[in-house]
């Protein structure tokens, strides 16, 4: 049974859809006749799983009777359970008004990988439940892969089965095409706010910029050009053109960068009229802090077999050891060992077995002493505890935007030894909490000796990063500022 009204912003109720055909007709009727209606579904019985999933996908509000079974785990503000049919007349008016407000707070996240492991989406995914339950947003995703489920977001899959490594090439064009088709077919935006972590959506409210391909192409050309890196260089060049066109012409309302260096470069790329703000990379302040380091240092040194006389430098990465300067660090360590500084060690944290195996093969050909000075842990259950075993953190990378691992190490209070790459300015104050490393092996070895002497005189400093415990509220403030009719809504 269904009924609707032809007036601005009407309510549109559907009670117990009988099946797919009836449900499809109701959706078509709603879209053509009442495109601005708030769709309320009343259920007092259990429906087939596929139909239940579709109802959850499209409905603005769900009223569930005592016999209804529809995603029991969903606790969003658009779901209400009633115990008897006599309650419905009293419940409906207030519930409909609430659903109308919720429709104005629909948030679309766009990224190929909406998963916790993705640097671009890690903090957002970690805060998804708080956005849904705490701030009352209805989440939508346009993505290729996600770790969120139907209780957290409405997912529209894109390019399923396509190679993830080439997403920088095809994903922006797919997003632009989907945006055009959405407007052509439905005449409106897919959500009240659109937050993308990749170029493609030309009128996004927010586009977070984690990476710029043009500077990375320069790094490849100067330092790593070979037959093996040519494909990555070509991909980067195509992506650079896409970024130039998008950031120059696409005009998101806000370009949100992860660090000051990225903001400066993006301003030159996008032009002075672009609205650029900095939302620094996020770190988990409940895990990475001075208390964790103090509690974990000695137990982890014992567990890893680290002698009290050793001076241990932590290096953490999931791979890409050449770009992150590990081979330069290996050359510097060999020079230190050749000079008799046998108490120096490097603690290599993270990485997968295949990547570590390739690294060992390279070190066999390039490093004389690596089996003596290198401690390899592979994947660790607690990065903060393992990192706490070190005396300092080293990261001589050629190119970053703002590496989260640097913020994590800084939050632990580890002295920092970093190359002059983007993002280092957010954690390193040379002479105060660490040193700046050159990229040549001889200069790096000399600076590491200097670091060992300086450590007693260095101080601990918090990184200019975003604590995970504050991320959702900070992001919510930005959303509220951009939301149409925000003065009527409460976050």
475 belongs to a structural domain: yes
336 belongs to a structural domain: yes
333 belongs to a structural domain: yes
Question: Which residue segment(s) compose the domain that 452 sits in?
Answer: 290-464
Residues 459 and 476 occupy one common structural domain: no
Last residue of a domain, one of 39, 71, 103: 103
Contact 436, 477 (CB under 8 A): no
Q: Could you give the C-alpha distances from 181 to 187, 197, 406, in angstroms and in order? A: 9, 20, 41
- SS3 for 120-135, per residue? CCHHHHHCHHHHHHHC
Residues 216 and 148 occupy one common structural domain: yes
Report phi then psi at 203, rounded to 5: -120, 40
342 belongs to a structural domain: yes
110 belongs to a structural domain: yes
Dist. CA 199–CA 208, nearest whole Å: 9
Last residue of a domain, one of 79, 103, 127: 103
Q: What local confidence, expressed as pLDDT, does residue 489 receive? A: 33
Other residues' Cβ atoms within 10 Å of the Cβ of residue 249: 10
Residues 218 and 316 occupy one common structural domain: no
The string of DSSP letters for 332-396 reads HHHHHHHTT-TTEEEEEE---HHHHHHHHHHHHHH-SSHHHHEEEEES-S-HHHHHTTSSEEEE-
Question: What's the number of domains the chain is made of?
Answer: 3
Dist. CA 42–CA 52, nearest whole Å: 12
Residues 387 and 416 occupy one common structural domain: yes
Provide Rg for the chain, Cα atoms. Answer: 26
Residues 251 and 309 occupy one common structural domain: no
Dist. CA 363–CA 407, nearest whole Å: 28
Residues 165 and 308 occupy one common structural domain: no
Residues 23 and 170 occupy one common structural domain: no
Q: What local confidence, expressed as pLDDT, does residue 153 receive? A: 85
CA dihedral sign, ordered 399, 404, 406, 407: positive
395 belongs to a structural domain: yes
Q: What local confidence, expressed as pLDDT, does residue 42 receive? A: 80
477 belongs to a structural domain: yes
Dist. CA 88–CA 1, nearest whole Å: 15
* pTM recorded for the entire structure: 0.79
Residues 44 and 138 occupy one common structural domain: no
Q: Where are the alpha helices (DSSP H) in 209-341?
A: 213-219, 230-245, 260-270, 290-303, 326-338
Q: What local confidence, expressed as pLDDT, does residue 95 receive? A: 80
Task: Give per-residue pLDDT as tens, 468-479.
Answer: 999 999 998 999
Residues 319 and 425 occupy one common structural domain: yes
Dist. CA 52–CA 14, nearest whole Å: 13
Contact 430, 436 (CB under 8 A): yes
Last residue of a domain, one of 82, 103, 124: 103
Angle value at C-alpha 366, between 361 and 367, nearest 5 degrees = 95
Other residues' Cβ atoms within 10 Å of the Cβ of residue 354: 9
Residues 99 and 119 occupy one common structural domain: no
Residues 70 and 27 occupy one common structural domain: yes
Burial of 369 (0-12, 13-18, 19+ CB in 10 A): middle
Residues 342 and 354 occupy one common structural domain: yes
285 belongs to a structural domain: no
In terms of phi and psi (left: phi > 0; alpha: psi -120 to 50; beta: otherwise), the region of 161 is: left
Q: What local confidence, expressed as pLDDT, does residue 28 receive? A: 67
Q: What local confidence, expressed as pLDDT, does residue 257 receive? A: 94
Dist. CA 340–CA 336, nearest whole Å: 6
Contact 292, 415 (CB under 8 A): no
Structure tokens at 265: 């470069």
- Strands lying side by side in the sheet with 138-143: 154-157, 138-143, 106-110, 193-196, 206-209, 254-257, 276-278
Those residues of the chain that have pLDDT short of 70 are: 1-13, 18, 20-22, 26-37, 49-50, 52-58, 69-78, 100-104, 186-187, 272-273, 484-491
Structure tokens at 356: 């570590």
Domain harbouring 458, CATH code: 3.40.50.2000
């Amino acid at each position: 049974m269904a009924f609707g009204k032809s007036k601005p912003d009407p309510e549109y109720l559907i009670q117990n859809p009988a099946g797919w055909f009836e449900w499809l007709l109701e959706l078509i009727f709603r879209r053509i006749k009442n495109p601005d209606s708030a769709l309320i579904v009343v259920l007092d019985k259990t429906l087939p799983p596929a139909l239940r999933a579709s109802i959850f996908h499209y409905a603005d509000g769900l009223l569930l009777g005592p016999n209804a079974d529809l995603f029991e785990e969903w606790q969003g503000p658009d779901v209400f359970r009633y115990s008897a049919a006599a309650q419905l007349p009293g419940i409906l008016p207030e519930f409909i008004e609430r659903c109308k407000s919720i429709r104005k707070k629909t948030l679309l996240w766009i990224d190929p990988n909406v998963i916790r492991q993705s640097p671009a989406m890690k903090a957002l995914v970690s805060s998804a439940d708080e956005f849904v339950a705490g701030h009352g947003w209805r989440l939508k995703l346009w993505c290729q892969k996600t770790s969120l489920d139907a209780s957290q977001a409405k997912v529209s899959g894109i390019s399923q089965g396509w190679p993830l490594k080439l997403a920088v090439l095809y994903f922006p064009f797919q997003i632009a095409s989907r945006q055009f088709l959405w407007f052509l077919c439905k005449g409106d935006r897919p959500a009240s706010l659109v937050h993308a972590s990749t170029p493609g959506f030309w009128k996004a409210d927010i586009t977070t910029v984690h990476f710029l391909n043009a500077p990375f192409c320069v790094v490849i050309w100067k330092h790593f050009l070979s037959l093996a890196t040519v494909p990555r260089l070509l991909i980067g060049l195509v992506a650079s053109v896409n970024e130039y066109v998008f950031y120059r012409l696409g005009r998101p309302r806000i370009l949100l960068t992860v660090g000051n260096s990225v903001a400066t470069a993006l301003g030159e790329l996008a032009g002075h009229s672009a609205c650029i703000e900095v939302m620094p990379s996020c770190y988990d302040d409940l895990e990475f802090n001075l208390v964790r380091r103090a509690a974990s240092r000695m137990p982890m040194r014992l567990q890893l077999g680290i002698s009290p006389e050793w001076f241990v430098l932590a290096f953490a990465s999931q791979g890409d050891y050449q770009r992150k300067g590990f081979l330069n660090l290996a050359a510097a360590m060999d020079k230190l060992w050749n000079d008799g500084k046998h108490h120096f060690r490097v603690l290599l944290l993270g990485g997968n077995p295949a990547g570590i195996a390739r690294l060992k093969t390279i070190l066999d050909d390039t490093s004389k002493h690596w089996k003596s000075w290198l401690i390899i842990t592979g994947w660790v259950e607690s990065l903060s505890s393992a990192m706490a075993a070190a005396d300092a953190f080293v990261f001589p990378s050629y190119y970053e935007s703002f590496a989260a691992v640097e913020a994590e190490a800084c939050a632990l209070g580890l002295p920092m030894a970093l190359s002059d790459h983007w993002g280092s300015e957010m954690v390193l104050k040379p002479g105060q909490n660490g040193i700046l490393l050159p990229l040549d092996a001889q200069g790096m070895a000399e600076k590491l000796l200097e670091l060992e002497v300086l450590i007693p005189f260095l101080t601990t400093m918090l990184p200019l990063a975003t604590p995970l415990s504050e991320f959702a509220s900070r992001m919510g403030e930005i959303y509220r500022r951009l939301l149409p009719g925000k003065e009527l809504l409460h976050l």
